[in-house]
């Protein structure tokens, strides 16, 4: 079973138990942390995403529902929650604009930021942004591409993003790092990442302070 079909099956199995926001957050968690793990990791996954009392009491039923969905014919599964409809893509001419230099430098900076973190902090940063996507003023296509990138399903951003959006993403990341490491270490880490990215930004004629 490929990744997309597994995601659809898990989404189908969990759908009766979660509201929209909690289910989407759970799917992001699965995609980022558990999608490459074997079936027995579902117990750990549900322990992590079933935080309130009602969900905790139903974990056995949710797990059973997921396993049943994994055995269902593909035609009976719910649509992929991360899909964007083809007609939406076709109706968005912005898709042909490509990725500008500022967005390219942002991707470079963000990779350096994640590269300076331990795996636990990387996960916290990715999930912090994914769970706040609705706060970003993005069209559906850009939101879908950003989600793919954060979910590690894409290595780069294929479209340009506004400076305000990129600032918000850096801010979400900074807050998540502060919560994990404390503000002093977070400030030091960010300063080091900026310094490491200065030469590339200079070559691209982009000012890094614009992202802060």
The verdict on residue 82 lying in a domain is: no
Residues 72 and 8 in one domain: yes
Residues 122 and 201 in one domain: yes
Total of domains in the chain: 2
Residues 98 and 202 in one domain: yes
Residue ending a domain, choose from 11, 43, 76: 76
pLDDT tens for residues 3-29? 889 999 999 999 999 988 888 889 988
Residues 66 and 140 in one domain: no
Q: What is the dihedral of CA 171, 175, 180, 181, to 10 degrees?
A: 80
The closest of 178, 182, 171 to 212, measured between CA atoms, is 171
pLDDT tens for residues 166-178? 999 999 999 999 9
Residue ending a domain, choose from 45, 76, 107: 76
128-157 b/e (C-beta count within 10 Å ≥ 16 → b): bbbbebeebebeebbbbbbbbbbbebeeeb
Mean pLDDT of the residues in the chain: 88
Residues 58 and 120 in one domain: no
The closest of 193, 110, 118 to 156, measured between CA atoms, is 110
Domain that residue 91 falls in: 87-211
Which of 5-19, 54-68, 76-90, 141-155 is least confident?
A: 76-90
pLDDT at 95: 44
pLDDT at 93: 52
Residues 183 and 142 in one domain: yes
Residues 92 and 184 in one domain: yes
Residues 95 and 138 in one domain: yes
Residues 70 and 95 in one domain: no
């Amino acid at each position: 079973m490929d990744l997309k079909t597994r995601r659809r099956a898990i989404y189908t199995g969990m759908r009766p138990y979660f509201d929209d926001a909690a289910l989407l957050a759970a799917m992001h968690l699965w995609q980022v942390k558990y999608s490459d793990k074997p079936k027995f990791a579902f117990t750990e996954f549900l322990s992590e995403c079933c935080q309130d009392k009602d969900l905790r009491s139903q974990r056995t039923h949710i797990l059973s529902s997921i396993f049943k969905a994994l055995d269902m014919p593909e035609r009976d599964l719910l649509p992929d929650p991360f899909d964007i409809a083809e007609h939406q893509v076709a109706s968005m001419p912005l898709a042909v604009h490509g990725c500008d230099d500022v967005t390219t430098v942002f991707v470079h900076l963000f990779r350096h930021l994640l590269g300076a973190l331990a795996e636990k902090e990387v996960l916290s940063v990715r999930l912090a942004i994914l769970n706040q996507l609705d706060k970003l003023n993005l069209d559906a296509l850009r939101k879908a591409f950003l989600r793919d990138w954060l979910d590690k399903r894409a290595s780069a951003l294929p479209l340009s993003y506004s400076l305000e959006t990129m600032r918000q993403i850096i801010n979400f990341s900074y807050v998540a790092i502060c919560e994990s490491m404390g503000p002093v270490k977070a400030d030091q880490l960010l300063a080091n990442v900026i310094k490491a990215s200065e030469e590339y930004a200079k070559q691209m004629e982009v000012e890094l302070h614009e992202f802060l």
